[in-house]
């Protein structure tokens, strides 16, 4: 069962951390991958996409925990803005299910998306951060998904507002750090160089 004192960030962190790990250049998709969480270590097992005509595609990430099997779902791809639900099951019986969005619209304020203070007023934080997570998701998830989904992630990547370069990806103790850069457009239509550092898949610093 989920601890009583868990916040939204406790449910946001596992998949964001998972994405950061699979973006490593030497990541081996054959090796099982686990990340720490307030539920204990979560071992990620499968990635799938559920597509229905007229509906937003659902990304489904299966995992195993001490309490049983579970699933994390996002609308389209892994992003601080797109968490749908976090579910834990035991022998097929739903123990706990937390729903964070409906029809792609958040029902809660996502802690990992609280980044406005890192950006100047003339840059659209949500568009820039959304583009970065879309780009990262398409690169990372295409490494581990079924071959039938590679085309899906390739198409998703092509609609990213900006093109991103990974300048660094390294580990320090149990943490993973990334640095990404791009040329973005401010609200006056001018080009700006931006650099973003993430820790365990969560944005930490922004340099303009």
Q: How far is residue 95's CA from residue 89's CA, in Å, rounded to a whole number?
A: 5
* Residues 114-124: tens digit of each pLDDT: 999 999 999 99
Confidence of residue 89 (pLDDT cuts 50, 70, 90): confident
What integer is the mean pLDDT of 49-58?
93
**In this model, does residue 1 exceed pLDDT 50?**
no
* Residues 130-157: tens digit of each pLDDT: 999 999 999 999 999 988 999 999 999 9
* Residues 13-39: tens digit of each pLDDT: 999 999 999 999 998 876 678 999 988
pTM of the predicted protein model = 0.93
Q: How far is residue 205's CA from residue 196's CA, in Å, rounded to a whole number?
A: 6
pLDDT at position 198, please? 99
In sequence order, the β-bridge partners of residue 69 are 64, 89
Q: How far is residue 76's CA from residue 146's CA, in Å, rounded to a whole number?
A: 16
In the numeric block, which tokens belong to residue 97?
A: 């299910």
pLDDT at position 62, please? 95
pLDDT at position 79, please? 97
pLDDT at position 135, please? 98
pLDDT at position 4, please? 55
For the chain, give the mean pLDDT: 92
What integer is the mean pLDDT of 165-186?
97
**In this model, does residue 110 exceed pLDDT 80?**
yes
Would you list the DSSP string of 99-147?
E-EETTEESS--GGG--GGGS-TTS-HHHHHHHHHHHHHHHHHHHHS-G
pLDDT at position 67, please? 77
pLDDT at position 68, please? 85
Task: Break the chain into its structural domains and give their ranges.
Answer: 8-106, 111-207
**In this model, does residue 113 exceed pLDDT 90?**
yes
* Residues 37-51: tens digit of each pLDDT: 988 899 999 999 999
């Amino acid at each position: 069962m989920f601890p009583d004192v868990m916040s939204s960030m406790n449910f946001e962190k596992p998949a964001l951390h998972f994405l950061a790990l699979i973006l490593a250049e030497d990541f081996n998709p054959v090796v099982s991958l686990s990340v720490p969480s307030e539920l204990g270590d979560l071992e990620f097992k499968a990635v799938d996409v559920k597509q229905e005509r007229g509906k937003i595609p659902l990304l489904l990430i299966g995992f195993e925990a001490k309490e049983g099997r579970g699933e994390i779902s996002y609308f389209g791809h892994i992003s601080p803005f797109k968490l749908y639900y976090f579910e834990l099951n035991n022998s097929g019986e739903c123990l706990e299910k937390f729903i964070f969005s409906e029809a792609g619209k958040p029902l809660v304020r996502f802690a990992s998306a609280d980044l406005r203070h890192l950006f100047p007023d003339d840059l659209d934080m949500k568009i820039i951060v959304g583009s970065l997570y879309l780009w990262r998701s398409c690169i990372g998830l295409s490494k581990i998904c079924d071959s039938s989904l590679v085309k899906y992630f390739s198409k998703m990547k092509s609609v990213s507002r900006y093109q991103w370069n990974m300048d660094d990806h390294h580990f320090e103790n149990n943490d993973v750090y990334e640095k990404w850069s791009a040329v973005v457009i401010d609200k006056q239509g001018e080009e700006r160089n931006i650099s973003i550092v993430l820790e365990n898949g969560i944005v930490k610093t922004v340099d303009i």
